[in-house]
Amino acid sequence: MNKTDFLLRLKLERGIGYVKMLQIASQLDSEKVEAAQLKQLDLPEKLIESSLQAFYNEKYEKIIDRIRKQCSVISFFDDLYPNKLRQIYQPPLILFARGNTNLLKRPIATIVGARQATNYSQVVIDELMPNLIKKYVIASGLARGVDGMAHGSALHHGGKTVAVVGNGINHFYPAQNQFLQQEIVEKGLLISEYLPDTPPKPFRFPERNRILAGLSDLVIVTEAREQSGSLITANMALHENRDVYAVPGPITCDLSKGPNRLIEVGAIPIVDFKLEEPFQNIE
């Protein structure tokens, strides 16, 4: 079988998490995976046994067939897998996608911020958007607040958008964004590293943030508290040498403390709506 189908089997196998999957995947040196090859891997005996169990499990064939009917499956080894994402720490080994997967090959600007964002974020995003969509696909996490503002504004202005969710793509979370999620599938792209029926859990959203940072050429933070998931995304992006922009705000406002702190440590303050510098870096 091919590598992608085998990775799917590993994903379905109980007791094999990300680290063990990575250990196995890093030793797959041919496009075709065979049982004899698995037996020769330089891995603990129990992990080899689990790999063989996943390889031979007949029940997985029907499950994988159902998954492929629901969405596209993109593995780390596929040409469609984004090169920028390959470079990050702990890249997702499999992505489940619904929509226009070709958007993954285009430059991406990620916009993140507070779930309790004010109209200030909406105004800034709407002013930035006409210029941004000339060069970038807009990515965000489909959460309440800034994420929804970013996706909605991109679609409203005729741009393309990618939503990276912290649950399986068969779930609508938050429920209030159900119609927005459906529109993104029709006009953009919805992706997740989780099996399609995986429910949302709090720990999955920080995991999702590394994908948002990894996909991006630049990250924009509008409003965020000093301890927030948005700052996690921004700091990951800085670590991966992406351009990070932040919208400055009053020092008396809690939702401006995050962006102001990012500016203090090196993020580029947004002082107009042109963002000419990153545009000049794109050929």
Tokens of 201: 């859990």
How far apart, in whole angstroms, are the C-alpha atoms of residue 54 and residue 158?
44
Tokens of 69: 């009917």
* Domains identified in the chain, total number: 2
Asked if residue 129 and residue 28 are part of one domain, the reply reads no
61 is a domain residue: yes
Among 150, 223, 207, 144, which Cα is nearest to 184's? 150
Question: Who's near 43: CB < 8 A, 6+ residues apart?
Answer: 23, 24, 27, 51
212 is a domain residue: yes
* Residue 46, Cβ density class (10 Å: 0-12 exposed, 13-18 middle, ≥19 buried): exposed
9 is a domain residue: yes
| Residue 172, domain extent | 101-280
How far apart, in whole angstroms, are the C-alpha atoms of residue 155 and residue 175?
19
Asked if residue 32 and residue 151 are part of one domain, the reply reads no
What pLDDT sits at residue 282?
41
What pLDDT sits at residue 202?
87
Q: What is the pLDDT of residues 129-139, one digit of tens each?
A: 999 999 999 99
What pLDDT sits at residue 276?
58
30 is a domain residue: yes
pLDDT > 90? residue 275: no
Q: Any idea what the CATH number is for the domain that residue 182 is in?
A: 3.40.50.450
Query: With helix as H, strand as E and coil as C, how does the chain read?
Result: CEHHHHHHHHHHCCCCCHHHHHHHHCCCCCCECCHHHHHCCCCCHHHHHHHHHHHHCCHHHHHHHHHHHHCEEEECCCCCCCHHHHCCCCCCCEEEEEECHHHHHCCEEEEECCCCCCHHHHHHHHHHHHHHCCCCEEEECCCCCHHHHHHHHHHHCCCCEEEECCCCCCCCCCHHHHHHHHHHHHHCEEEECCCCCCCCCCCHHHHHHHHHHHHCCEEEECCCCCCCHHHHHHHHHHHCCCEEEECCCCCCCHHHHHHHHHHHCCCEECCCCCCHHHHHCCC
Mean pLDDT of 152-156: 98
96 is a domain residue: no
Share of the chain above pLDDT 70, in %: 97
150 is a domain residue: yes
Q: Which residue has 């962006």 as its token pair?
A: 259
The amino acid present at 74, given as its one-letter code, is I
Q: Dmax over Cα atoms in the chain, in whole Å?
A: 64
85 is a domain residue: no
Tell me the pLDDT of the chain averaged across its residues.
93
Q: How many residues does the chain have?
A: 283
Asked if residue 180 and residue 131 are part of one domain, the reply reads yes
Asked if residue 118 and residue 44 are part of one domain, the reply reads no
86 is a domain residue: no
Among 70, 86, 111, residue at a domain's last position = 70
Q: pLDDT confidence of 277, banded at 50, 70, 90? A: low
pTM score: 0.91
Asked if residue 138 and residue 276 are part of one domain, the reply reads yes
Asked if residue 106 and residue 240 are part of one domain, the reply reads yes
Q: How far is CA 9 from the centre of its chain?
A: 22
Among 70, 85, 111, residue at a domain's last position = 70
Q: Which residue has 């020769």 as its token pair?
A: 40
Asked if residue 207 and residue 120 are part of one domain, the reply reads yes
Asked if residue 119 and residue 201 are part of one domain, the reply reads yes
Q: What is the pLDDT of residues 159-213, one digit of tens each?
A: 999 999 999 999 999 999 999 999 999 999 999 999 999 999 988 998 999 999 9
